[in-house]
Amino acid sequence: KRFTRCGLVQELRRQGFDESLMRDWVCLVENESSRYTDKVGKVNKNGSRDYGLFQINDKYWCSKTSSPGKDCNVTCNQLLTDDITVAATCAKKIYRRHKFNAWYGWLNHCQNSLPDISDC
């Protein structure tokens, strides 16, 4: 599934994301996955991969096996579904621990310019 920008905003609101950070989350998702729920990233330098809307890394956060594991206690495949509840819960956990610094898409593109979501 590919979200529209406003569709993403509505879904993030439904998932309980902080309204004051909404533009940061939208910017992060647009730069990490282009709003695609099923995106699997290219292999990173350390051999890990990133999964789903929030491009969550399998080195620390999700298990590549069929058993849930790592810090979010999920499988990486659970992060690729159109229902983003599992991915959103994991992304919020990562944010609580590292803020937006955990995501290069945010670090490289969102610190000085955030998307306009005023129409959403």
Of the candidates 32, 83, 116, 119, the residue annotated as catalytic is 32
Percentage of residues of the chain with pLDDT beyond 70: 100
- pLDDT digit string (tens) for 27-85? 999 999 999 999 999 999 999 999 999 999 999 999 999 999 999 999 999 999 999 99
Q: What fold characterizes domain 5-110?
A: Lysozyme (1.10.530)
Any catalytic annotation for residue 119? no
- Report pLDDT for 110: 98
Q: What is the DSSP string of the chain?
A: -B--HHHHHHHHHHTT--GGGHHHHHHHHHHHHTTBTT-BPPPPTTS--EETTTTEETTTT-BSSSS-BTTTTBBGGGGGSSS-HHHHHHHHHHHHHHGGGG-HHHHHHTSS-----TT-
Of the candidates 24, 50, 116, 119, the residue annotated as catalytic is 50
Any catalytic annotation for residue 50? yes
